[in-house]
């Protein structure tokens, strides 16, 4: 039944939905089912491999000094791919800052995505076109935005459900609590998707809540489902059911996807300071990509398919590097022009001070 954890408050073990084991075995769940065929599963595998390659390149580019920061998603591919696969054509995503995979799946241009971490853009994609909101650096702020957008959809009687991703750390923020409260009270079409990757930077999830995060749902009057976040089939099935419920007027659902951040919180973090190798290795054995590979091999998927996906990933990796190298050097002085519609005297003075300061160093950045 997945990887539910014991909690210090003595709460009963939460049922965790799982449809695919780490060994690649399909299992049944009494409430949720994945009905995709072998071709659909192969596409999920392909997307996870490609997303992992984007993440690998982003990490390497930061280490080479090309990006200011990168928030790795290694190990969370199933949570991102599975939840995105459940979306309909009118549905919208409000992400946190780690959803590079979701951004790519929603069609966000890599130049815009990579450029935001290079500080050469401000996240300038068209939200309405891609149905993907801006990356939220402010922890826990965006579920409120998602709930407000969903309320607007309901009041206008428009089609669409809002899916909002956030982490276990964000679940402790007051803004997230308010979003859950307003979403349940007004029965808006929003799905709250918590990627519990076990750490809010260095603080383990068991130090954030005495009960599983999903159990908070009942306190707000909405259903909650805990799912194996490294099982892409289960994630898609659970998210699809929550989206269907919201679309039918049933209101929000809180999903807790149990997964693991294999890398650092961001490239400025050193995870060896707060977790041991044995824990990391135990989660490595539950890798979301490996289990789908094992399933596909048992289903008779030819080896040429896996070779083609690997080759596509190599090509994508090279493309990410090319996109990054073509980005302009950041002009931080220009950012002062985007704070308000009309420049204030205070900002104008601050901009002048900054330009004078950087002129001492050749005007770079």
Cα distance between residue 62 and residue 59, in whole Å: 5
Residue 7's pLDDT is 54
Contact by Cβ (8 Å): 109, 125: yes
Considering only the C-alpha atoms of the chain, give the largest distance between any 2 of them, rounded to a whole number of Å. 68
What is the chain's pLDDT, residue by residue, as a tens digit (365 residues)?
Answer: 455 554 544 555 679 999 999 999 999 999 999 999 999 999 999 999 999 999 999 999 999 999 999 999 999 999 999 999 999 999 999 999 999 999 999 999 999 999 999 988 877 799 999 999 999 999 999 999 999 999 999 999 999 999 999 999 999 999 999 999 999 999 999 999 999 999 999 999 999 888 999 999 999 999 999 999 999 999 999 999 999 999 999 999 999 999 999 999 999 999 999 999 999 999 999 999 999 999 999 999 999 999 999 999 999 999 999 999 999 888 888 888 888 999 999 999 999 999 999 998 876 66
Backbone φ and ψ of 33, nearest 5°: -145, 145
Q: Check 216, 265, 286, 291 and give the catalytic one.
A: 265
For residue 144, give the nearest of 106, 99, 180, 188 by alpha carbon. Answer: 180
Residue 244's pLDDT is 98
Residue 1's pLDDT is 46
The first and second tokens of residue 187, run together, are 């029965």
SS3 282: helix
CATH class of 16-326: alpha beta
For residue 228, give the nearest of 172, 297, 170, 288 by alpha carbon. Answer: 288
For residue 293, give the nearest of 92, 85, 48, 63 by alpha carbon. Answer: 48
- Asked if 7 is an active-site residue, the reply is no
What ranges in the chain are assigned the alpha helix state H?
38-63, 77-85, 100-105, 110-118, 127-130, 142-155, 174-186, 216-220, 232-247, 277-284, 288-298, 303-326, 345-359
Q: Check 46, 118, 261, 351 and give the catalytic one.
A: 261
Residue 334's pLDDT is 87
Q: Check 129, 274, 284, 348 and give the catalytic one.
A: 274
- Asked if 46 is an active-site residue, the reply is no
Residue 363's pLDDT is 64
pTM over 0.85: yes
- Asked if 64 is an active-site residue, the reply is no
Element housing 3 (H / E) = none
Residue 121's pLDDT is 84
Residue 11's pLDDT is 53
For residue 73, give the nearest of 92, 91, 93, 95 by alpha carbon. Answer: 95
Domain locations in the chain as residue ranges: 16-326, 331-365
Contact by Cβ (8 Å): 216, 153: no
């Amino acid at each position: 039944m997945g990887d539910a954890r014991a909690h210090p408050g003595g709460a009963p073990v939460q049922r965790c939905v799982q449809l695919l084991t780490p060994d690649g075995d399909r299992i049944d769940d009494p409430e949720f089912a994945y009905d995709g065929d072998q071709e659909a599963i192969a596409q999920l595998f392909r997307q996870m491999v490609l997303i992992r390659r984007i993440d690998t390149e982003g990490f390497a580019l930061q280490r080479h000094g090309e990006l200011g920061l990168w928030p790795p998603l290694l190990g969370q591919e199933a949570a991102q791919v599975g939840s995105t696969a459940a979306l309909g054509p009118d549905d919208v995503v409000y992400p946190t800052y780690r959803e590079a995979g979701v951004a790519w799946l929603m069609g966000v241009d890599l130049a815009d995505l990579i450029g935001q971490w290079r500080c050469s853009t401000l996240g300038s994609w068209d939200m309405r076109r891609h149905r993907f909101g801006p990356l939220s650096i402010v922890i826990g702020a965006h579920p409120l935005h998602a709930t407000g957008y969903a309320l607007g959809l309901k009041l206008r009687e428009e089609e669409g459900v809002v899916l909002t991703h956030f982490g276990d750390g964000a679940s402790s923020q007051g803004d997230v609590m308010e979003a859950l409260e307003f979403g349940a009270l007004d029965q808006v079409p929003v799905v709250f998707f918590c990627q519990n990757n076990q750490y809010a930077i260095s603080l383990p999830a068991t130090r954030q809540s005495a009960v599983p995060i999903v159990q908070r749902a009942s306190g707000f009057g909405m259903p909650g489902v805990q799912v194996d976040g490294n099982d892409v089939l289960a994630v898609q099935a659970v998210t699809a059911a929550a989206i269907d419920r919201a679309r039918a007027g049933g209101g929000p659902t809180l999903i807790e996807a149990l997964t693991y951040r294999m890398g650092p919180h961001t490239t400025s973090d050193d995870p060896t300071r707060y977790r041991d190798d044995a824990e990391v290795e135990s989660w490595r054995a539950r890798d979301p990509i490996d289990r789908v590979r094992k399933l596909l091999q048992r289903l008779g998927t030819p080896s040429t398919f896996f070779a083609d996906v690997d080759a596509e990933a190599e090509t994508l990796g090279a493309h990410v590097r090319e996109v990054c190298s073509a980005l302009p050097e950041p002009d931080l002085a220009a950012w002062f022009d985007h704070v308000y519609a009309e420049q204030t005297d205070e900002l104008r003075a601050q901009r002048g001070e900054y330009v004078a300061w950087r002129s001492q160093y050749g005007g770079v950045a």
